[in-house]
Structure 1
Amino acid sequence: MPSEETEVVVVGAGQAGVAMSEHLGAHGVPHLVLERHRIAERWRAERWDSLVANGPAWHDRFPGLEFDVAPDSFASKEQVADYFAAYAEKIGAPVRCGVEVTSVRRHTGRPGFRVETSEGSVDARFVVAATGPFQRPVIPPVVPDGAVPVQIHSSGYRNPEQLPEGAVLVVGAGSSGVQIADELRRSGRRVFLSVGPHDRPPRRYRGRDFCWWLGVLGIWDAETPPRGAEHVTIAVSGARGGHTVDFRALAGAGIELVGMTASYDEGVLRFAPDLATNIERGDAKYLAFLRAADAYVERNGLGLPEEPAAHVLGPVPDRVSSPLLELDLADAGVASIVWATGYATDYGWLEVDAFDENGRPDQRRGVSREPGVYFLGLPWLSRRGSSFIWGVWHDARYVADHIAIQRGYLAYGTTDRTGAAPAAAQN
């Protein structure tokens, strides 16, 4: 069976793949977007029922289409998935759903790659890995199977009714862990929340969402993460109209805070004695954010209302200053553990020399060290905003420009029957 041919194969039809298709289309570059499920499937199938976007609708979108919700509201996960499906239709993206890419190998003796899929093979000059950062859920090997009735990753959590009766330990205090813990507590569960290092910006300050502040303060455009901050979680919530995550308030509402989950032995889970330190450092970053915002307002003479109450943190709960270091899971009635512990990438299908000694993509702004292979949608691909909806759109434009330029070089010296240079050479 002969192989199909195209210029670019884009693997993945989430936000990165759809953005990539838009920019390749603008350059007139023939391409295919291959998606093993549906467009933006992870938003539909790998998120809990009540999830909403963490950024307001006016901000977390592509330039070419607005969400059909109020600009300052937070779109539901289904609305986000529907948005990308509608966007793909709007731009005429050549997406093929239900097609899984099983391998990509460089041709021998000629340019390009052979892309093997569940529906046959495709020959392409360029390949863009647009599968994003949320590929393989990570559950640390701390608690053995069978120690509690249920252990699931946050990607498998849907709602409180899914879990057996009893208390729940949520491990991880980024946006996912905090929102899941709060939902479980509101359902009447006893909840323990394991808190590690984190940032917790204000949801809104002086009448502006924190996404706006990150923009005007230049934080979205930071090109290099602070030392040690490549994977530090951000605790912010769009739930119930959006609110600032406050661990004091969570403790006051009945969630039992503990430090990082450290080890397990014969039914007893042990936590690091770092709870107070983690919260203190999160508080320090929060207050520094407010001071930077105040300085911006003063420097630019803006008439934004002052908000002195935001600087008042209140007393530290006793459970923070004297944290629980051990938890007998049976005695506490813990029947479930939800691991909100992030994801790892999985590029086992990409059989090319595009990775460093640790197996991570070796790339600069999405251009890999393997000529013709590109990455898109990863955190810090070019800046802090790279893995966010709006950020990936701008990164995709850079990658598409790079591909168009390379096509021009490759077309040098060739002509069609009329004697005109190919379109790629004219871009």
Structure 2
Amino acid sequence: MEKINTLVIGAGQGGVATSEHLRQHGIEHIVLERGRIAERWRSERWDSLVANGPAWHDRFPGMAFSCDDDAFADKESVATYFEDYARMIDAPVRTGVIVEAVTPHAGRAGFHVQTSDGEFDALNLVSATGPFQKPSIPPIVPDAAEVTQMHSTAYRNAQALAEGPVLVIGGGSSGSQIAAELNDAGREVYFSIGPHDRPFRRYRERDNCWWLGVLGIWNMDTPAPGTEHVTIAVSGAHGGETVDFRRLAERDITLLGMTSGFEDGTLHIADDLKTNINAGDDNYRSLMKAADDYIERTGIDLPPEPEAWDLPDDPACVANPIRSLNLAERGITTIIWATGFKFDYSWLHAADALDEVGRPTHQRGVSKVPGLYFVGLPWQSRRGSSFIWGVWHDAKFVVDQIAIQESYLQHHQRRA
């Protein structure tokens, strides 16, 4: 049984950031990682993936990316960045260790942690496994259907897929980039999209990330009603381009509404395509208006961009949407589900740690369970919590709470 003050689970961006702050406080700790540092960036993303934010923004304060500040780092560069960062701060990372079970001690503080590499007795535990834990595929198309189905985490490139048209389901960042890449590779693509936000990539010579910062949107502490799970269609591909579904249709991608059901080889498509696209347009325009108002209010010198307000006419697939799609008749051989992720805390055996659907119960990453903390959750403290820089600041807050508890224990020991 190895005893440790704080055990951190996961050596992605959350775990590396947590280690940096623990070291600054002088708190003894170990970081356990089931694969390599930043493993999901390496083995669970497609080949051409790049970060959705520019390098000047999506990074930790202590190190810049090796690429140009305005570039969007590719996935291998992101993984290497965290590996180099862990080396720079001398993070005590143990790779290839799977955490199998975590159980609070009975009658005393701390946790018993069972791993593939032995047992630990930890006073504190920080789960830094992030929001992308278990791929989520809606139970719509049965496994027995004569079509290959995969989650976006299993997609690598167009050449690795079977010949034939491809259906991409999910209109967020991943689905938008994969659909465009398949189209560029000469594939016939059907693209099913649901409700989404569709911000501009750049406007009036500043990136979307900069605008969200100066407008205070990154610091929103709670999502607007009904928007917690709305996907965001934004991309850093090809140097960063605004996602425009109508222009994807002009490239012969067939847009569809939400996939709502499946029967006898035919997909049922909701009658919501135009509604979803229009709502995305509203989000796009509202952000530009907020940017224009900011410029007028502050007098900052940025050139106008009236052409950004011009949107294409509805293509035929939007004006006359498809409501059913027979997979065999269309020759569709592959379905790629870009439908997000679920939490998986099956290893955490602690009452009150999770809610009824398996999400952590916490306040800014501090659990109701004494000594248990979370880093890297969506909306952990603000909208920016899921981004690299946001994780770093959330980790600092969490470790500060661990240090505060340490000071209370030290006071108790002195008095005792």
Preserved CA contact (<8 Å) 2:10 2:32: yes
The reply to whether residue 369 of structure 1 matches residue 375 of structure 2 is: no
Return the offset for 1:228.
1.1
Aligned-partner Cα distance in 1 for 2:146–2:155? 16
Task: Name 1:32's counterpart in structure 2.
Answer: 30
Return the offset for 1:150.
1.0
Task: Name 1:219's counterpart in structure 2.
Answer: 217
- How many residues end up aligned between the 2 structures? 414
The reply to whether residue 321 of structure 1 matches residue 319 of structure 2 is: yes
Aligned-partner Cα distance in 2 for 1:359–1:41? 23
Task: Name 1:387's counterpart in structure 2.
Answer: 386
Q: Pick from 306, 309, 319: which aligns with 2:307?
A: 309
Query: Letter of the aligned partner of 1:394 in structure 2?
Result: H
Preserved CA contact (<8 Å) 1:169 1:191: yes
Aligned-partner Cα distance in 2 for 1:108–1:247? 55
Task: Name 1:378's counterpart in structure 2.
Answer: 377
Preserved CA contact (<8 Å) 2:54 2:72: yes
Task: Name 1:243's counterpart in structure 2.
Answer: 241
Query: Letter of the aligned partner of 2:378 in structure 1?
Result: P
Preserved CA contact (<8 Å) 1:148 1:337: no
Q: Which moved more, 1:143-152 or 1:278-287?
A: 143-152
3-state DSSP class of the match of 1:347?
Answer: coil
3-state DSSP class of the match of 2:411?
Answer: coil
The reply to whether residue 356 of structure 1 matches residue 351 of structure 2 is: no
Task: Name 2:3's counterpart in structure 1.
Answer: 5
Matches within 5 A, 1:102-141: 102-141=100-139
Q: Which whole-Å deviations, capped at 9, do the CAs of 1:83-108 have from their partners, x for residues lacking one? A: 00000000010000011111111112
Runs of 4+, deviation exceeding 3 Å: none
Aligned-partner Cα distance in 2 for 1:320–1:56? 32
Return the offset for 1:15.
0.3
Task: Name 2:77's counterpart in structure 1.
Answer: 79
Aligned-partner Cα distance in 1 for 2:358–2:79? 30
Unaligned runs of 5+ in 1: 416-420, 422-427
Aligned-partner Cα distance in 2 for 1:314–1:154? 29
Aligned-partner Cα distance in 2 for 1:182–1:111? 52
Q: Pick from 328, 331, 351: which aligns with 2:329?
A: 331
3-state DSSP class of the match of 2:162?
Answer: coil
Aligned-partner Cα distance in 1 for 2:140–2:281? 28
Q: Which whole-Å deviations, capped at 9, do the CAs of 1:59-91 have from their partners, x for residues lacking one? A: 000000000000000000000000000000000
Task: Name 2:342's counterpart in structure 1.
Answer: 344
3-state DSSP class of the match of 2:209?
Answer: helix
Query: Letter of the aligned partner of 2:84 in structure 1?
Result: A
Q: What's the TM-score, normalizing by structure 2?
A: 0.98
3-state DSSP class of the match of 1:270?
Answer: strand
Task: Name 2:400's counterpart in structure 1.
Answer: 401
The reply to whether residue 100 of structure 1 matches residue 88 of structure 2 is: no
Return the offset for 1:149.
3.2
Preserved CA contact (<8 Å) 1:150 1:163: no
3-state DSSP class of the match of 2:248?
Answer: helix
Task: Name 1:53's counterpart in structure 2.
Answer: 51
Return the offset for 1:383.
0.3
Preserved CA contact (<8 Å) 2:344 2:358: no
Query: Letter of the aligned partner of 1:246 in structure 2?
Result: D
Task: Name 1:418's counterpart in structure 2.
Answer: none
Query: Letter of the aligned partner of 1:262 in structure 2?
Result: S
Return the offset for 1:318.
2.2
Root mean square deviation of aligned Cα: 0.9
Return the offset for 1:110.
1.8
Task: Name 2:411's counterpart in structure 1.
Answer: 412
Query: Letter of the aligned partner of 1:176 in structure 2?
Result: S
3-state DSSP class of the match of 1:122?
Answer: strand
Task: Name 2:89's counterpart in structure 1.
Answer: 91
Q: Pick from 262, 271, 274: which aligns with 1:273?
A: 271
Task: Name 1:260's counterpart in structure 2.
Answer: 258
Return the offset for 1:314.
2.2
Preserved CA contact (<8 Å) 2:247 2:312: no
Return the offset for 1:132.
0.4
Aligned-partner Cα distance in 1 for 2:33–2:391? 18
Query: Letter of the aligned partner of 2:155 in structure 1?
Result: Y
Query: Letter of the aligned partner of 1:132 in structure 2?
Result: G
Q: Pick from 159, 162, 174: which aligns with 1:161?
A: 159
Return the offset for 1:316.
1.3
Q: Which whole-Å deviations, capped at 9, do the CAs of 1:4-33 have from their partners, x for residues lacking one? A: 111100000000000000001100000000
Return the offset for 1:227.
0.8
Percent identity over the alignment?
A: 60
Return the offset for 1:413.
3.6
Return the offset for 1:250.
0.2
Query: Letter of the aligned partner of 1:177 in structure 2?
Result: G
Aligned-partner Cα distance in 2 for 1:240–1:413? 57
Task: Name 2:296's counterpart in structure 1.
Answer: 298
Q: Which moved more, 1:399-408 or 1:111-120?
A: 111-120
Aligned-partner Cα distance in 1 for 2:139–2:163? 24
3-state DSSP class of the match of 1:331?
Answer: helix
Aligned-partner Cα distance in 2 for 1:90–1:65? 9
Aligned-partner Cα distance in 2 for 1:413–1:347? 33
Query: Letter of the aligned partner of 2:95 in structure 1?
Result: C
3-state DSSP class of the match of 2:268?
Answer: strand
Return the offset for 1:356.
1.9
Q: Which whole-Å deviations, capped at 9, do the CAs of 1:93-129 have from their partners, x for residues lacking one? A: 0000011111111112221111111111111110001
3-state DSSP class of the match of 1:42?
Answer: helix
Q: Which moved more, 1:227-236 or 1:41-50?
A: 227-236
The reply to whether residue 233 of structure 1 matches residue 231 of structure 2 is: yes
